[in-house]
Structure 1
């Protein structure tokens, strides 16, 4: 499409994009690097990461959280650059952990897919864990079909999660203690495998789709408002840019886990004009 712009090329597998402090942060899972890229395409390396997969978000006080998925830990980067253990997740699941989102109270939600995709294990039920500010972790939802991207509504009262293997976006009510209840389908997306997501200021969700090679904007209830076609799989997306109205999409060729280890660097970040900026953080 003519409104695509390649912001960054040469990634192996870009995931978990986040707009923060005037730049886009991207996890290159294949290269083991946490990158930053400015709106004019200047690239920097924020951190080397020796784990797979890994995803990021920030606590309200500005400290970075990083899911060290392969060894089931949630790490925290301190202001001096040191790394501390924020929570040990192994007692909840020893299978790889995936995405993270933090709320305005310092709670973090981390999901695990429930099986080792890269090792060729059969799919199993996924889960969501709550990690409270003191580092205590407990399971707050289960029986999810490959939980992937997550987002919080601006009032901090609803958690949205993409279920890649169930072709839907699922919503939960967030209780005063951070627990989840009131599970419901937010949108059925037949024929899609929603991966990373972001919520915009008009209350619509963008989701990236690897097999569908696209990024889709959808309303609660499932009405599709816009589709951005891609020439490779869409892994995740984030809204940002100087005015907030740029959709950043991480995309790459995907030929299955067996081919991932020797994959050529087909990953890139695309910038697409968006009709609305990001929803405010809760």
Structure 2
């Protein structure tokens, strides 16, 4: 196991990928180096491996936030502006997957996550309108839906969350980890055989520090959970025992501003990409620990169109 206790990201370690991106909140990386980045100008910006050539892909509408890649190389998108989940096929066509639950609007759909069992987890930050009101105070009206990738059989598996953000399932499939933005930390639930959740508990400091707001989370191969924090532009690693290690801190946002997600990439999964709501490119650096491979790395998935 690699030791991450003394790892720090210095400004000189950071490189940048992509140009003129708009709100590049979430990043999908393929094994060959291809990147797919959520982009306000179109659903996704595609950056080719090697050449770095980029193009917009999908519908040029809404506010794409979290994205996930399916087994067949298509994309599922959480549109936080329209409050819907939709799917983009490999020709760039859009199809609504879910736009309501129990006869009501979904709310601020923040993130979608496909786990190793092809379960689709949908994180809804808040039903408060405008959603900014729920960011400026603690409003526990966020929730999580569970369904299949086609949007069938949606059911609410968690609620009472404080601005639900990214979610992840651990490597053993035992726990769902949830970033609660306005709580400033991470909660987790034990996952039952049918996908039901129970035993909500905090994981690591809650909050990370007074006034903290967390956003994106991702596991590395050693079971550490990487967390982005947006008020001090931090990257924090939570070790398996919950101990918090700050590996990057940039309160002035000179190197990384408003970090929203962490994606491990590269053939050895040691290249880290950091999404952002404010930057026009994606920050990148090298990690001493490999990332945990995402669902789409485990098969012959390709989305290159």
* Alignment partner, residue 262 of structure 1: none
**1:234 equivalenced with 2:259 (yes/no):** yes
Aligned counterpart, 2:276? 251
Deviations, residues 145-174 of structure 1 (Å, cap 9, x unaligned) = 111111121222321111111111111122
1:124-139 matches, within 5 Å, as 124=139, 125-133=141-149, 135-139=152-156
In 2, Cα distance between equivalents of 1:250 and 1:281: 16
Q: Give the direction of change, closer, same or farther, for the CA distance of 1:195–1:80 in structure 2 (3 Å limit).
A: same
Correspondence for 2:209? 190
1:85-126 CA-to-partner distances (Å, cap 9, x unmatched) read 333334365421111101222210111111234564665320
Are residue 279 (structure 1) and residue 279 (structure 2) matched? Answer: no
State yes or no: 1:75 paired with 2:86: yes
Matches within 5 A, 1:5-154: 5-22=15-32, 23-29=34-40, 31-38=41-48, 41-79=52-90, 81-91=92-102, 93-114=105-126, 115-117=128-130, 120=133, 124=139, 125-133=141-149, 135-154=152-171
Show structure 2 runs of 5+ residues with no match: 1-10, 296-305
* Distance change >3 Å, CA 190–CA 97, structure 1 → 2: same
- SS of residue paired to 2:204: strand
CA-based RMSD of the aligned residues comes to 2.4
Rate the CA distance shift 1:78–1:21 in 2: closer, same or farther, 3 A: farther
The runs of 5 or more residues in structure 1 that have no matched partner are 254-265
1:233: Cα distance to partner? Answer: 1.7
The count of aligned residue pairs is 269
- State the alpha-carbon separation in 2 of the partners of residues 11 and 79 from structure 1: 21
Secondary structure class of the residue paired with 2:62: coil
Query: What's the CA shift for 1:207?
Result: 1.4
State whether residues 74 and 89 of structure 1, in contact with CA within 8 Å, keep that contact through their aligned partners in structure 2: no
8 Å contact kept, 2:78–2:110: yes
- 1:46 & 1:103 partners in 2: Cα distance? 24
TM-score (norm 2): 0.79
Contact 2:45–2:54 (8 Å) recurs in 1: yes
Shift in Å, 1:241: 1.9
CA distance in 1, matches of 2:15, 2:170: 29
Distance 1:280 1:242 in 2: 10
Q: Which structure features the higher share of strand residues? A: 1
Task: Name the structure 2 match of 1:181.
Answer: 198
* CA shift for structure 1 position 247: 0.9
CA distance, structure 1, for counterparts of residue 64 and residue 192 of structure 2 = 29
